[in-house]
Amino acid sequence: MWKETVAVDSFRTQKSVTIDGNRYALFKLEGEVYCLDDVCSHEYSLLSEGEVWDREVYCPKHGSRFDIATGAVRSFPATEPVTSYPVEIRDGVIYINTDRR
C-alpha cells in the first residue's frame, strides 16, 4: 500500500519517517529518492543517522555498509540486507510502498 511521507523539499540528504509504527529511512541521492528500512539488520541502530558515501550508507553503530538503492549489505558485521521500498514523488510529496514489510 502506498503511504504518504514528507515533502521532497523538507530535508537535505536523509530523513527518518515513522509509518504505522515502523521506521523508514529516506535518502536523496543524485536527484533520486530512495527508501530503506531505517533499522539496521544487525542490531538496533538507525541508518538515517549514518554517513553516506558513494551510494552507500554506513551504519552508525558498527559501520556495516548498505547499498542505498537496493538495501544490499556490503560489509560486516551485518550479513542480511535491509528492505528497499518503492518510492514515488507526487506533487512534491514522497510516497513509499510498504507492501514488502
Query: Rule CB under 6 A: which residues touch ligand FES?
Result: 40, 42-43, 45, 59, 61-62, 64, 77-78
Q: Which strand ranges, in their side-by-side order, compose the sheet holding 65-67?
A: 51-53, 56-58, 65-67
Q: Which is nearer to ligand FES, 15 or 42 (CB)?
A: 42
CA of residue 25 relative to chain centroid, distance:
3
Q: Which is nearer to ligand FES, 40 or 87 (CB)?
A: 40
Query: What would the grid cell of residue 63 be?
Result: 559501520
Q: How far is the CB of 61 from ligand FES (least distance, A)?
A: 4
